Amino acid sequence: MPDPDTHRAGRPIDDVYAAALHIGGDCLRDGPVGTVGLEIEAHCFDVADPLRRPGWDELQDVIASVPDLPGGSAITVEPGGAIELSGPPLAGPVLAISAMQADRRVLSAAFAARGLGLVLLGADPLRPAERVNPGARYRAMEAFFAASGTAAAGAAMMTSTASVQVNVDAGPRDGWAERVRLTHALGPTLIAITANSPLLGAEFTGWRSTRQRVWSQLDAARCGPILASGEDDPVNDWARYALKAPVMLVNGEEAEPVTDWVPFADWADGRTLLGGRRPTEADVDYHLTTLFPPVRPRGFLEIRYLDSVPDDVWPEVVFTIVTLLDDPAAAEIAAEATAPVATWWDRAAQHGLAEPRLQAAAIRCVTAAAERAPAELSAGMARLVERVERGRSPGDDVADLVVARGLRAAVTALTEEGT
């Protein structure tokens, strides 16, 4: 969490133009492609009692017992107690995957020793939403969502969803527009491939990716895709998006919710004063941490639209998305394949690979990646291609398990697998 007093050291923002310059200044960095960073979130369940949500102190105690992670990942706790591993940027998908696999083995063993399992699902299928992280930021977020009429979706987003996040280089400046466009266009197809959240709150929701459904219920100004302005300039697109988005929190002595709809542009121009003052550059930076589009520019591209998926799926998904972006020939195939379905975010979340045009795009994309897979990933990529050709996403296996065994028994089985 950012230092709550950082606004005091930041330079003041005089107007909306100064804010736009600051937002766009380092949002994309010119350079080669090839670096990959991974972040993986896993729901934490008590093996003996999967309805129980482990508390904050308990989780901190377990984390303190984890030995040094060989891949260098950082461990953090999400608001609802999900455990996140954030790996360092490494040279290429294979190294990033290998490092994350090693760190997950060590982390899972430490949690298993305390009777806890780490389950890779896009949404918690069993427990009601409940916050365990006591941070002021998350208390303020709850108040913001309540004031904006999205309390239930906000609580579910914070405490019941989990994802695999892939971070890739922005690439050379003259290719930014095309690369950002493709990263967005891949979204619905990759959502269909990774859909792994058919249940929420102990009920089938009718959506293959309930995680994506939850995010879509929040305000589009904060969580929707960054829509192109027509200028073909992703830097300007991001600045406009951030300035139009309402301010969620003001960081003073601690985070304070903003319960009225105040676009950041209004604060920057002085039309509205928040916390009794004009914003600083640090306030701009903090505002950006409260924006959650499916692709977020942070110097690199932060890809946020994947469900958390099992250990026998996510490495191949990571290799697929990086290959489709970084390999020029594969990128051409992906751009053509995904063009007809590039805006089908909700359709992908609801129907997944059961939608024929999404399945057709997915087959072309994973096949192109599989043809470029190194030996250590070739078997896994073949399995992913076969799964996509059958129209199966990981959540279909979860649904079948719940139907066969009942929900609690199914979650117990998944929890035991995560130990």
Residues paired with 163 in a beta bridge: 307
pLDDT beyond 50 at 169? yes
Assign 253 a pLDDT band (cuts: 50, 70, 90).
confident
pLDDT beyond 70 at 3? no
pLDDT of residue 230: 52
Q: Is 296 exposed, middle or buried (0-12, 13-18, 19+ CB in 10 A)?
A: buried
pLDDT of residue 419: 79
Element (DSSP H or E) covering residue 255: strand 255-257
Residue among 296, 309, 304 nearest 123 (CA): 309
Residue among 368, 359, 362 nearest 333 (CA): 368
Mean pLDDT confidence for 116-131: 97
pLDDT beyond 70 at 201? yes
Assign 19 a pLDDT band (cuts: 50, 70, 90).
very high
Assign 266 a pLDDT band (cuts: 50, 70, 90).
very high
Entry pTM: 0.94
Radius of gyration in angstroms for the set of CA atoms belonging to the chain, rounded to a whole number: 21
CATH of 26-250+290-418, one of 3.30.590.20, 3.30.465.10, 3.20.20.70, 1.10.8.60: 3.30.590.20
pLDDT tens sequence across 71-119: 999 999 999 999 999 999 999 999 999 999 999 999 999 999 999 999 9
pLDDT of residue 381: 98
Query: DSSP label at 72?
Result: -
pLDDT of residue 228: 58
Domain ranges of the chain: 26-250+290-418
Name the one residue in this structure whose structure tokens are 């107690």: 81
pLDDT of residue 231: 58
pLDDT of residue 380: 97
pLDDT of residue 2: 39
What is the Cα 276 distance to its own chain's centre? 33
pLDDT of residue 68: 95
Q: For residue 125, how many other CB atoms are within 10 A of its CB?
A: 29
Q: CA-CA distance, 374 to 358, in Å (whole number)?
A: 26
Q: Do residues 37 and 87 make contact, with C-beta atoms less than 8 angstroms apart?
A: yes
Mean pLDDT across the chain = 94
Mean pLDDT confidence for 273-295: 95
pLDDT of residue 5: 41
pLDDT of residue 11: 87
pLDDT tens sequence across 363-393: 999 999 999 999 999 999 999 999 999 999 9
Q: CA-CA distance, 409 to 375, in Å (whole number)?
A: 37
Q: Do residues 284 and 22 make contact, with C-beta atoms less than 8 angstroms apart?
A: yes
Mean pLDDT confidence for 328-357: 97
Q: CA-CA distance, 357 to 44, in Å (whole number)?
A: 35
